[in-house]
Amino acid sequence: MAGTTQEKSTLLHLFAGGCGGTVGAIFTCPLEVIKTRLQSSKLAFRAVYYPQVQLGTISGEGMVRPTTVSPGLIRVLKSILEKEGPKSLFRGLGPNLVGVAPSRAVYFACYSKAKEHFNNIFVPNSNIVHICSAGSAAFITNSLMNPIWMVKTRMQLERRVRGSKQRNTLQCAQYVYRTEGIRGFYRGLTASYAGISETIICFAIYESLKKHVVKDDRLAPSPSDSTDRNSTNFFGLMAAAAISKGCASCIAYPHEVIRTRLREEGTKYKTFIQTARLVFREEGYLAFYRGLLAQLIRQIPNTAIVLSTYELIVYLLEERVK
């Protein structure tokens, strides 16, 4: 009996995680496309000319000093809409939807199981439990889902010319296999492992905040009070998820830029450390934060939607599976 209940609980977390991930992916896909373009080394920089006074000259004429500036979020959005059309804002949504439901499902199921395991080793629901659980779940999920995310990134980086036919998800996957073999699907995996630090930071902050925003609904004296508490909890969870993801993204963001570079087609980027050194040497440390604004605008609501949807479904269905 206990085994059946445990299996139902695991399936519940799989279902809730998959639903949350799917909803979040659909709503925030355009921002992810913009973010990926900003992270790419193939981003078209625009030239800016600053006047520079040449002191000590007889004429006193100024010289023009050229420099390059990375286009911002709005400029990239306008460029995509003008040159490629609105459909290009949803490039990679196919593999994203194919991957996000099982990815989130696997992640939350692994997180739930790991949490049970680590609660028996460490102080239950302590920060070390949340960190170990989040790290374990992220490692398993990244290892399993990297091929799908690789194809998604390639599709998002592919520029669409109006009137031309672009590769679909299957054609893109076949092209990667034909040109790079099985290993091609695992490009950027080392950067994904480095990104586990972001997941750990996010969940550690989220679980700490959750203790302060979630109230025990079962103590509610009346149905109307219970409804108010449910609403407060739901929006409280969204706020906790948004804050935790925002903090984690700012701290661990450089790994995303490195991962995108590693997944580009036919580039000079080979390994995690080599890519980090090359980006720093050629473009400076600010290059590691290109696309951060788009990432925050996308990830904060996305994480809030995913986690709150997950928690809501678990809350609504948990009693029924027991």
What are the beta bridge partners of residue 62? 53
Buried b vs exposed e over 193-232: b needs ≥16 C-beta within 10 Å?
bbbbbbbbbbbbbbbebbeeebeeeeeeeeeeeeeebbee
| pLDDT digits 0-9 by tens, 190-199 | 999 999 988 8
pTM to 2 decimals? 0.71
Q: What is the pLDDT of residues 55-79, one digit of tens each?
A: 444 444 444 444 455 677 888 888 8
Using an 8 Å Cβ cutoff, are 200 and 251 in contact? Answer: no
Condensed to tens digits (0 to 9), the pLDDT of residues 75-115 reads 888 888 888 888 888 887 888 777 777 787 788 788 888 99
Tell me: pLDDT of 7 over 90: no
Using an 8 Å Cβ cutoff, are 111 and 20 in contact?
Answer: no
Rounded CA gap, 143 and 109, in Å? 15
